[in-house]
Amino acid sequence: MQTRLIRIVFLVTAIAAFARPVAGQTLPRTADGKPDLSGIWQAVNTANWNVLSHNAEKDVPAGLGVVEGDEIPYQPAAAAKQKENFANRATADPESKCYLPGVPRIMYMPYPFQIFQTPTHIAMTFEYVHAVRRIFMNTPHPDGELEWFMGDSRGRWEGDTLVVDVKDFTGMTWFDRSGNFHSESLHVVERYTPTGANNINYEVTIEDPTVFTRPWKMSMPLYRRVDKGMRILENECYAFGLEHTWLRPPQ
């Protein structure tokens, strides 16, 4: 039954893919006709400092914000918690501890990431703390009460848009350095729509009934890193400054 459904969905989306080319652009496609998202990408914005619009400060670039309506619909207690987080951000931000940043924050941290794509499985490998996302296609979330920093991701194609449903999070990650936060009830739906060979429109819906009064959205472009010889390097945040503390060969 499920196989048949998947087959029908595949047919419909295959037709949709041919019927709806992006205006004036030829998208690279995989053998099965889906947009080919593989390659190295990076967001270029200031959302990691603050997802809302904000002025510049020392070591903080100004930004127009990435949240639809420029407002996060916190419940009253959560709004107070966000203010407390902001006041303590230098040490309370999970990024300051080098933790895995969670989703969607990892997608707009100022480091590149790579997408590998097959029909059944899309993998993302990130430079920052060698984070990994595995997106299995057309499969259900696993049973059991999981709490993972990067959540559990399940993907499907809707026309030329990759839709990823992510849940099973911890409550230990934030959205930015400004104390915007969620609980372990976070549910994220991401939509990756290529708008050309080198651009993806990334839109994400955030739902968390214990923290927000309603779902809300962020959106931003992702850009292909076309630099010569580009590859993902390493940013082992939690090893910095500790190198002297175990035995290494003399320099």
205-231 core/surface letters (b: 16 or more CB in 10 A; e: else): bbbbeebbeeebebebebebbeeeeee
Supply the minimum distance, in Å, between the C-beta of residue 128 and other proteins.
Answer: 12
Q: How big is the chain by its Cα radius of gyration, in Å?
A: 19
Supply the minimum distance, in Å, between the C-beta of residue 122 and other proteins.
Answer: 9
Supply the minimum distance, in Å, between the C-beta of residue 109 and other proteins.
Answer: 16
Nearer to other proteins, 56 or 132 (CB): 132
Supply the minimum distance, in Å, between the C-beta of residue 92 and other proteins.
Answer: 15
127, 145 contact by CB (below 8 A): no
- What is d(CA 122, CA 141) in angstroms, rounded to the nearest whole number? 15
Nearer to other proteins, 99 or 216 (CB): 99
- What is d(CA 27, CA 35) in angstroms, rounded to the nearest whole number? 6
Supply the minimum distance, in Å, between the C-beta of residue 48 and other proteins.
Answer: 18
Supply the minimum distance, in Å, between the C-beta of residue 11 and other proteins.
Answer: 20
Nearer to other proteins, 214 or 244 (CB): 244
Nearer to other proteins, 20 or 97 (CB): 97
Closest by CA to 194, choosing from 40, 50, 27, is 27
191, 163 contact by CB (below 8 A): yes
Chain positions contacting other proteins, by CB under 8 A? 31, 38, 97-100, 114, 116-118, 121, 123, 125, 129-132, 134, 136, 142, 145-150, 172, 184, 229, 231-234, 236, 238-239, 242-243, 245-249
Nearer to other proteins, 38 or 75 (CB): 38
Nearer to other proteins, 6 or 98 (CB): 98
- What is d(CA 32, CA 37) in angstroms, rounded to the nearest whole number? 13
The tally of CA atoms less than 13 A away on the side-chain side of residue 102 is: 26
